[in-house]
Amino acid sequence: MNHQKSAAFFTEAKRTIPGGVNSPVRAFKSVGCDPIFISRAEGSRIYDVDGNAYIDYVGSWGPMILGHCHPKIVEAITEAAKSGASFGAPTEKEIVLAEMVCEAFPNIEMVRMVSSGTEATMSAIRLARGYTGRDKILKFDGCYHGHADSLLVKAGSGAATFGVPTSPGVPADFAKHTLTATYNDLDDARAVVEANRGTIACIILEAVAGNMGCVAPRPGFLEGLRALCDAEGILLIVDEVMTGFRVAFGGAQERFGVRGDLVCLGKIIGGGLPVGAFGGRREIMEMLSPVGGVYQAGTLSGNPLAMSAGIATLNLLKAEGFYDLIEEKSAYLEKGLLEAAKEAPFKTSWQRVGGMFCTFFTEGPVYSFADAAKSDTKAFGKFFRAMLEEGINLAPSQFEAGFMSAAHSTDDLDRTIEAARRSFKSL
Ligand code: PMP
């Protein structure tokens, strides 16, 4: 495969854009090759500037559950653009999407639109702090909730100790309010809460972790956190930026039957345009400005193009059997890939929840970030590069999930499985 033009663009991009990319993982740094520059995408395929076609399992990191360039979404965006790209004033479309979100999530009585997942989680946390009058938050090691200061914190050495900043630029004074615990370890979360009784505003988590690969909650974990929050006056924030409208129409909360006090959304609800949202019970949400005093705002919040793409997307997802179709395709791929992985010279572990999945290059099961971190990332990089050469676009990191779309055909899946068989063998 020829990547000449991509290579030239990368060199040029690095002159004016840090690392040549506007989001770090796009630089392919952890997989040992240069990134491909994309020219267009359609259905299950994405095309690079050198004219190479790839079957795409990144789907813009989740939003493209209908496949790329779905005609109904293109039409919705085009029509909306004809009436104006942005007004900075309320529109009917915002009400429509808000009502659709409230209908899908029974625990969301009110919702506010923002422009990214980061804004959604950052705002939800501010709201939780405002509501409870407490400063500390508890997150889980390996869960990503965007790049707001207080969320860029990894686990310290002891679960109950203060977090340490992951990134330079996050003041220790901010990071000290962020406590961390081990994902899927209820006892650990209980111990942290016990050691910080009465000071924790919220527990935030991905109900299916998609930012350390793909890690499902173990039975009892979500239920236990719900009970812990209820007992301690802590708000449970379920970050469904990735899982909302992905693992079920009503997200991971519908799938696992546990409800948060606040919910964060993004990705799919924007149909590929920049959107985030956070919502929850009326009494909490009405603490937001202009009703209450917790400030939160956005020039482009509720943008008409994004609302239109979101409404059109959710309408299509409501079709009878849509999630069965995603499940069927994903199960088909799973069966084939498990078979193909037998050709690998070492053990791998496949994990999947609905249409999100990953292959860990370690013997599973993977329940936590510490488990995921045992993966052979060099081997993953080799596999990634082999698959790319085969025309399969996977997420360029061991610690990211893959996504199925409705546009993936059986032929696409068969080709992927065959490519994986050869790639595993070549390791
Ligand atoms: N939360 C989760 C669970 C995510 O997966 C992401 C992005 N991958 C975010 C928050 C942040 O969203 P954004 O990149 O739109 O800011």
278 lines ligand 1 (CB under 6 A): no
pLDDT at 168: 83
Q: What average pLDDT is seen over the chain?
A: 95
Mutate to test the pocket of ligand 1, among 242, 247, 353, 369 (most ligand atoms within 8 A of CB): 242
Q: CA dist 413 to 35, 328, 370, 422, Å?
A: 23, 11, 31, 14
Residue 136 neighbours by CB under 8 Å, 6+ apart: 177, 178, 179, 196, 199, 200, 201
Catalytically active residues, by annotation? 144, 239, 267
Taking a C-beta distance cutoff of 8 angstroms, is the pair 357, 334 a contact?
yes
Position in ligand 1 atom list of the atom nearest CA 116: 15
**Tokens, residue 372:** 């995921």
Partners of residue 277 on adjacent β-strands: 113, 265
**Would you give per-residue pLDDT tens digits along the chain (427 residues)?**
999 999 999 999 999 999 999 999 999 998 999 999 999 999 999 999 999 999 999 999 999 999 999 999 999 999 999 999 999 999 999 999 999 999 999 999 999 999 999 999 999 999 999 999 999 999 999 999 998 988 887 633 333 334 455 678 888 888 899 999 999 999 999 999 999 999 999 999 999 999 999 999 999 999 999 999 999 999 999 999 999 999 999 999 999 999 999 999 999 999 999 999 999 999 999 999 999 999 999 999 999 999 999 999 999 999 999 999 999 999 999 999 999 999 889 899 999 999 999 999 999 999 999 999 999 999 999 999 999 999 999 999 999 999 999 999 999 999 999 999 999 999 9
Residue with tokens 């993004």: 266
Taking a C-beta distance cutoff of 8 angstroms, is the pair 118, 146 a contact?
yes
- Amino acid symbol at 424: F
Residue 359 neighbours by CB under 8 Å, 6+ apart: 337, 341, 348, 349, 350, 380, 383
Q: What is the tens place of the pLDDT at every residue in 204-259? A: 999 999 999 999 999 999 999 999 999 999 999 999 999 999 999 999 999 999 99
Distance in Å, CA 342 to ligand 1 centroid: 33
3-state SS assignment for residue 352:
strand
Distance in Å, CA 273 to ligand 1 centroid: 14
pLDDT at 164: 54
Taking a C-beta distance cutoff of 8 angstroms, is the pair 120, 265 a contact?
yes
Residue 124 neighbours by CB under 8 Å, 6+ apart: 202, 204, 237, 262, 264, 278, 280
Nearest Cα residue to 131 out of 177, 200, 197, 206? 200
Residue with tokens 């508890």: 138
Position in ligand 1 atom list of the atom nearest CA 266: 15
pLDDT at 162: 46
246 lines ligand 1 (CB under 6 A): no
423 φ, ψ to 5°? -70, -45
Cα separation, 297 vs 300, whole angstroms? 9
pLDDT at 382: 97
Position in ligand 1 atom list of the atom nearest CA 243: 3
pLDDT at 185: 98
pTM of the model: 0.96
Residue nearest to atom 10 of ligand 1 (CA): 145
pLDDT at 165: 58
Q: Which domains does the chain have, with CATH numbers?
A: 4-69+320-425 (3.90.1150.10), 72-317 (3.40.640.10)
Taking a C-beta distance cutoff of 8 angstroms, is the pair 312, 72 a contact?
yes
Residue 275 neighbours by CB under 8 Å, 6+ apart: 113, 114, 115, 116, 266, 267, 269, 303, 306, 307, 309, 310
Mutate to test the pocket of ligand 1, among 22, 211, 403 (most ligand atoms within 8 A of CB): 211
Cα separation, 323 vs 387, whole angstroms? 27
H-run or E-run covering 112: strand 110-114
Q: What is the tens place of the pLDDT at every residue in 52-82? A: 999 999 999 999 999 999 999 999 999 999 9
Partners of residue 40 on adjacent β-strands: 47
117 lines ligand 1 (CB under 6 A): yes
Taking a C-beta distance cutoff of 8 angstroms, is the pair 328, 373 a contact?
no
pLDDT at 161: 37
224 lines ligand 1 (CB under 6 A): no
